[in-house]
Structure 1
Amino acid sequence: MANKFKEAFQKMAKNMPKGGGGLPGGGGGRGSGAALAASRAVGSLVVAGGLGYGAYNSVFTVDGGHRAVVYNRIIGMKDVVYGEGLNFNVPWFERPVVYDIRTRPVNLQTLTGSKDLQMVTMGVRVLHKPDPSQLVWMYRHLGKNYDERILPSLMNECAKAVVARYNANELLTKREEVSASISRELSARCAGFHVLLEDVAITHLAFSPEYAKAVEAKQVAQQEAERAKYIVLGAVQEKKTIITRARGEAESAELIGTAVKRNPGFMKLRRIDAAKDIADIVSGSGNRIYLNADSLLLNLLGDADEKFTKSVEGRGGWLRK
């Protein structure tokens, strides 16, 4: 642009009339001197502009957490990696390319199969950065968007290769081991591209709806089996209780029979206890009682026992007849 501006003024100076033909009174010398002065002024402006352009483009600044490589139009990529701060280059002949070497995340979600052929949806997050000493190689082969070129495919491949070694249950119980295996596989693959990995983590792990239903059904079946086990144990304990109660009642009946044989007054004592209980029930009832006192075992006089004995003996004699 400055050269075109200079050429335009030079053409204008050449087209101006010489010897004062265009000026009345013959002022040719003064007109030629003015044109020369204007041409020199324009030349000075052009030189000043060129010097300013060169001074402005001969330095570049590299911010913190960045590195730069320089492309030379004559020799190509220079092997020097420029650090942070102010650096110098040759204007127009050299062009700096700045790389961000800070750690950055990249996320990937993939669908793969486990060792027992269960479909698993896995999300992986990787923290990565370029190797600062290999930025010249990286610019030559991958460019600035190196992470978009290599990381998605490598993460997908490594995640699927590792998940295929584990069963669905192991993916849940050995999650840390699975994450470490993916990190080792991915670090080895990225080393060939001079990409450094800071951390690899599994952020999401989900199975197919069919597998989730099967796991739920299995858990329900296990709970039912545990419940049935306790029911069986309860039935066994109840059986033991019934047997123990029956043995106790048999022993009680045997003891009562022995007591009656040894002491006839035992029956009178039991009749008194029964009459006491019946009297408590009848006294608390609001209904009228029209039954015989003998039938209610409330007659505790001496002749009641004799009547009871005679009635039993009479019935026995009638039965004998």
Structure 2
Amino acid sequence: MKYQNSQNWQALVGGIIAAALILLSFSSFVIINPGQAGVISILGKARDGALLEGIHIKPPLISVVDVYDVTVQKFEVPAQSSTKDLQDLSASFAINFRLDPTQVVTIRRTQGTLQNIVSKIIAPQTQESFKVAAARRTVEEAITKRTELKQDFDNALNERLEKYGIIVLDTSVVDLNFSPEFSRAVEEKQIAEQRAQRAVYVAREAEQQAQADINRAKGRAEAQRLLAETVREQGGPLVLQKEAIEAWKQGGAQMPKVLVMSGDSNSSVPFLFNLGDVAQEPTLSR
């Protein structure tokens, strides 16, 4: 009986030891997946050398592995600044970045979590970089040279974040706002420019109309000159008589019933006489 109890205790202890060994064996390595980097801390002290993707051995029970996501992260960060002409300017930036896998140990020692990186590093450095870019130009240049403004911002932000092990991949200006006073000034300027453009258009239209009138007058004068030359070349009086008849027709009046030609050879225009008008006159009493 005693022998049997002894065997049971030995089996129980053996099972506990085996379970402990299995547990220790599982806690003696860590798997780092693609897109991750790990930092191993032994007794609370971060060990040099980042753990990249793969299987890594670590001391059981006394070590902890902090895993960081080193894929692309995106955060929107607001920023405010003053321009060169002391106008208020605010913006919101979308920043795509990732952590340098080889620098995660330094990041773990200095910043800790990803939330700390955003709030303590990226947000304030975004603010300072925007101040540098905005102070180089006026508020109007911030609109007309927006690409240059963004380039200055990118350069300043990359330089500031690189030393923290943060790689900036891309930035974009989500929103760019100006003070209400400047917005009103821009609106009034646009209205004034539209009115000025309208005035220029009206002036050009009047100038074109005046030039058209001049051209028509020149055309009529030239036509009259050519007509006079034609009259002289083709005998004169007969042509003038024909022109007088055509002018009468074009005037819309009814042609007279009687056409009297002057016997004077120097007369060029026919004398038009309507017998109907004579018939309507009262007869003189004798």
Which of 64, 71, 77 is the aligned partner of 2:34? 64
Match status 1:201 vs 2:172: yes
What 5-or-longer segments of structure 1 have no aligned partner? 1-29, 283-295, 309-321
Change (3 A) 1:80 1:238: closer
Q: CA deviation at 1:62?
A: 0.5
Which of 100, 125, 130 is the aligned partner of 1:131? 100
Q: Larger RCO: Structure 1 or Structure 2 (Cα < 8 Å, ≥ 6 residues apart)?
A: 2
Which of 132, 143, 150 is the aligned partner of 1:161? 132
Equivalent-residue separation in structure 1 for 2:212 and 2:191 (angstroms): 31
TM score, norm. by length of structure 1: 0.67
Greater fraction strand: 2
Greater fraction helix: 1
Aligned to 1:174: 145
Match status 1:273 vs 2:246: yes
Equivalent-residue separation in structure 2 for 1:176 and 1:306 (angstroms): 83
Equivalent-residue separation in structure 2 for 1:103 and 1:88 (angstroms): 27
Change (3 A) 1:274 1:136: closer
Equivalent-residue separation in structure 2 for 1:37 and 1:112 (angstroms): 80
Map 1:34-113; keep pairs closer than 5 Å. Answer: 34-73=4-43, 76-113=45-82
Q: Cα deviations across residues 183-217 of structure 1 (Å, max 9, x unaligned)? A: 11112211332222222332332434543443233
Q: Is the 8 A contact 2:259 2:272 kept in 1?
A: no
Instruction: Specify the SS of the correspondent of 1:158.
Output: helix
Q: Cα deviations across residues 10-51 of structure 1 (Å, max 9, x unaligned)? A: xxxxxxxxxxxxxxxxxxxx3x33433332222112211211
What amino acid is the match of 1:166? R
Aligned to 1:13: none
TM score, norm. by length of structure 2: 0.74
Equivalent-residue separation in structure 2 for 1:306 and 1:115 (angstroms): 87
Equivalent-residue separation in structure 2 for 1:70 and 1:306 (angstroms): 124
What 5-or-longer segments of structure 2 have no aligned partner? 263-269, 275-286
Q: Is the 8 A contact 2:256 2:272 kept in 1?
A: no
Equivalent-residue separation in structure 1 for 2:209 and 2:50 (angstroms): 86
